Amino acid sequence: MESQDKKQTIIEHLSELRKRIIYSIVSLIVCSIISYNFSEIIVEDMINKAPNMEFVFIAPAELFMSYIKVAIVGGIIFSLPIIIFQIWSFVKPGLERNERRLGISSLLIGGLLFLLGGLFAYLIVLPMTINFLANFQMNEIKPMISFNNYLSFAITFVLSFGVAFEMPILMALVVKFGLVNTKTLKKHRRMAILLIFVLAAILTPPDVISQISLAIPMILLFEIGLFLSKLVETNKVEANK
């Protein structure tokens, strides 16, 4: 009897997981279809961010596939709140009250930071980087830049900034779970700044403007992460009293 109850519980969990996955996939498809209607507007806006470049497409379906790629990326962005909600709905029953509060705050702050990082990259850093790279031309070499390559470059660029902006919430979480403390983080501040510049060099194109544009915000985010980590550490000490 006990074995049957346990088996039924596992089946219920799998059924719930399947339902959440289906909801997530449907929301992604619907949001991608809606985003496709705005693909041309987004493509034109991306072209306007590179006024000194002329783009070509070198395969019959390349421009169409670029529109599809824009639609999928837009679908992921707009369906992300729904997908996160589905994930949260699945894991929520197994969490205690304080874990739920931590999970909600982490998801909200993390999502906001990712959005801010992506917008900062797309609206400010990407145009500067493109204009900087456009100046590297030679009379003997005629530029023929595929829009699909430009699109892939822009998507990777924006996502890199979005991921980098997650630093404060990640720092707060590792302190929350006792993997490190704020004293250690402060002690290794110089090493962290060095690693930030190395990471910026890896995530961005090989030009100084892009690297500094990512490194400086990341240093500021590191300081914000220290502040949040200190708050988390203080609350953790008071809760254990």
With a cut of 60, say whether residue 39 has pLDDT above it.
yes
Distance of alpha carbon 10 from alpha carbon 241, whole angstroms: 38
How confident is the model at residue 241, as a pLDDT?
61
Distance of alpha carbon 77 from alpha carbon 111, whole angstroms: 10
How confident is the model at residue 6, as a pLDDT?
45
Length of the chain in residues, anyone?
241
How confident is the model at residue 21, as a pLDDT?
92
Number of domains in the chain: 1
Mean pLDDT of 191-220: 80
pTM recorded for the entire structure: 0.75
With a cut of 80, say whether residue 206 has pLDDT above it.
no
With a cut of 60, say whether residue 155 has pLDDT above it.
yes
Mean pLDDT of 107-130: 85
pLDDT tens by residue, 176-188: 877 788 888 888 8
Paired with 138 in beta bridges are: 141
The DSSP result for 115-182, as a single string, is HHHHHHIIIIIHHHHHHHHHT--BTTB---EEHHHHHHHHHHHHHHHHHHTTHHHHHHHHHHTTS--H
Contacts 24+ apart (CB under 8 A), 170-176: 170/225, 171/222, 171/225, 171/226, 171/228, 171/229, 172/225, 172/228, 172/229, 172/231, 172/232, 173/106, 175/229, 175/232, 175/233, 175/236, 176/102, 176/232, 176/236
Please compute Rg for the chain using Cα positions. 22
How confident is the model at residue 71, as a pLDDT?
92
How confident is the model at residue 2, as a pLDDT?
43
Range of the domain at 92: 2-239
- 106 Cβ contact partners less than 8 Å away, ≥ 6 residues apart: 169, 173
With a cut of 90, say whether residue 31 has pLDDT above it.
yes
* Helix or strand run (H / E) with residue 101: helix 97-120
* β strands within the chain, DSSP E: 55-56, 145-146
- pLDDT-based confidence at residue 240 (cuts at 50, 70, 90): low
- pLDDT-based confidence at residue 135 (cuts at 50, 70, 90): confident
How confident is the model at residue 29, as a pLDDT?
95
Q: Mean pLDDT, the chain, as a whole number?
A: 82
- Tokens representing 82 are 């729904």
Q: pLDDT exceeding 70 applies to what percent of the chain? A: 91
How confident is the model at residue 87, as a pLDDT?
85
- Tokens representing 66 are 């670029």
- pLDDT-based confidence at residue 28 (cuts at 50, 70, 90): very high
Q: Are 82 and 27 in contact (CB under 8 A)?
A: yes
